[in-house]
Homo-oligomer: A and B are copies of this chain.
Amino acid sequence: MTAAGEEIYQLVERLYPLCRSITGDGVRATLKIVDEYVPLQVHEVPTGTRVLDWTVPQEWNIRDAYIADAAGNRVVDFAASNLHVLGYSVPVAATMPLDELRGHLHTLPEHPSWVPYRTSYYQPEWGFCLAQETLDAMPDGEYQVRIDSTLADGHLTYAEHVVPGQVADEVIVSCHVCHPSLANDNVAGIAVATYLARSLAERTPWYTYRFLFAPGTIGAITWLARNADRVNGASPAPGAPPGRRPGEEPRAGGRVRHGLVLACAGDPGQLTYKQSRRGDAEIDRVMRHVLLASDRPHRVAEFTPYGYDERQFCSPGFDLGVGSLSRTPYAGYPEYHTSADDLAFVSPEALADTLAVCLEAFSVLDRNRRYVNLSPYGEPQLGRRGLYESLGGRSDAKQAQMAMLWVLSLSDGEHSLLDVAQRSGLPFDTVADAADALHGAGLIKA
């Protein structure tokens, strides 16, 4: 995994410097790099498009911005850090005394050397973010302020990458791509999602996995507006996911059955899984199980309607089984939304660990089925079918035999393999292997 961590970290390093926002060329540049790793389908949605209760805003681009002193020295410079400009600042070119300028300056007095990250998407505004130390060192007097930005009709950009599965039903993995140079929030999420897609492609998963790289809030809302057939009525019936018959093509109209929002994926903190609004969706049970079974220190958080794009996926009209995986959750660390969320704040180990948990969870999700015991009256004679012998070489032969008995006992169409694992206390993979053996012997059916 260390090698994987290093690779993900290198992608973080490439993406970190770009100036992203909810629209604009920074998002496009980001998606272009990701496309080198996994091919993306990029969507451009015109300004003014109605999406659910919202409207796609004007596109914002910025070329340069600074505050210069009387001598023409740039005391705050966009070229040094894209955090220096209030996101979505309208253009400005003016000279004004410091006192007038102060109303447009944002600092973090409690962390005087850090630059905060601020935006004003829906209120026309301009501003600069800077270190308190920098401000303190600025003498009174006239300053030249310049923001060379454009706010104009254009597009909102987002992208998708699909890993085809054995069934058309989908797991959506979403990460926001709208934050500028903040390494953990959310370059790390983008990079982990990218490598997750690559890893899943190697194993031909059961579900179809759809990766969504989109700006926060408005991006998810845009995607939801354009994919109504994929998400309406998406709550899975409490039965097994519909499987594909041999030789059958995946259904065109797959629906989103499960999902995960990835954010803050690379900091040194322990993993935090935030449950879906439902709290007992299958993804919730799987994530809780995997985190617990892996003996990782971790935290499971209740759903709240604040956070990342789970807010949109879990809004009551959709109510999808979408949770959110972070390390330290948003606003839970002092570096959050500041220049201190930099490349030093994320590590290859943390990135690799987040990726590993996702892969473990999706492995469980992909194998989690409900079976029906076809020989439910008394125990079937396992010995006659060679099922005891099949355990001969295994070091966990006793566990494997118990797993068979448990799968037979609970396969009444009500219990999933995860239910079996949890009730029996056996490892999920042992249970799933037992189900495969019983299925092969014709004793259970999906």
Minimum distance in angstroms from A352 CB to a CB of chain B: 33
Pairwise interchain contact B378-A305, C-beta atoms closer than 8 A: no
Query: Is the CB of A130 closer than 8 A to any CB of chain B?
Result: no
Copies per complex? Answer: 3
Q: Does A49 contact B (CB under 8 A)?
A: no
- The minimal Cβ–Cβ distance linking A213 to chain B, given in whole angstroms, is 18
**Could you tell me if A381 and B224 are in contact, using CB atoms closer than 8 angstroms?**
no
Which residue of chain B lies nearest to A413 when distances are taken between CB atoms in the complex?
Answer: B316
Instruction: Report chain B residues within 8 Å CB of A402.
Output: 304-306
The complex places the Cα of A383 from the Cα of B121 at a distance, in Å, of: 11
Partner-contacting stretch, out of A101-109, A151-159, A360-368, A369-377? A369-377
Q: Give bound CA distance, A217 to B383, whole Å.
A: 13
Chain B residues within 8 Å of A315, by CB: 376-379, 408-409
Measured in the bound complex, the distance between the Cα atoms of B314 and A410 in whole Å is 10
Q: Which residues of B contact A410 (CB under 8 A)?
A: 316
> Chain A, 57-79, contact with B by CB distance < 8 Å: what is the 0/1 string?
00000000000000000000000
Q: Is the CB of B224 within 8 A of A317?
A: no
Within 329-384 of A, Cβ neighbours of B (below 8 Å) are at 373, 375-381, 383-384
Chain B residue nearest in CB terms to A231: B377
**Whose C-beta in chain B lies nearest to the C-beta of A423?**
B302
A412 CB contacts on chain B under 8 angstroms: 316, 319
Query: Does the CB pair A305–B224 fall under 8 Å?
Result: no
Interface residue total, chain A, C-beta cutoff 8 A: 43
The residue that A378 contacts in the complex, of B53, B375, B408, with Cβ under 8 A, is B53
Q: Is A292 an interface residue (CB 8 A)?
A: no
Q: Which residues of B contact A306 (CB under 8 A)?
A: 402, 405
- Closest B residue to A317 by beta carbon equals B376
- Taking a contact as CB atoms under 8 Å apart, the answer to whether B53 and A375 are in contact is yes
A224 to B411, CA, bound (A): 20
Taking a contact as CB atoms under 8 Å apart, the answer to whether B405 and A305 are in contact is yes
Within 8 A of B (CB), among A2-18: none
Interface string of A284-326 (1 = CB under 8 A from B): 0000000000000000001011100001101111110000000
Q: Does A143 contact B (CB under 8 A)?
A: no
Which A124-182 residues have a C-beta within 8 angstroms of B? Answer: none
Is the pair B384, A317 in contact by a Cβ cutoff of 8 Å?
no
Q: Are A304 and B377 in contact (CB under 8 A)?
A: no
23 residue pairs bridging A and B, Cβ less than 8 Å apart: A54-B378, A54-B381, A221-B378, A221-B379, A277-B409, A304-B405, A304-B424, A305-B406, A311-B379, A311-B405, A312-B379, A314-B409, A315-B379, A315-B409, A316-B373, A316-B409, A316-B410, A316-B411, A316-B412, A317-B376, A317-B378, A318-B377, A319-B412
The 9 A-B residue pairs with the shortest CB-CB distance, nearest first, are: A317-B376, A317-B377, A305-B409, A305-B405, A52-B378, A53-B380, A316-B376, A316-B412, A221-B378
Apart from A304-B402, A304-B405, A315-B378: 13 A-B pairs, beta carbons within 8 A = A52-B375, A53-B375, A53-B377, A224-B378, A305-B408, A311-B405, A315-B379, A316-B373, A316-B411, A316-B412, A318-B376, A318-B378, A319-B412
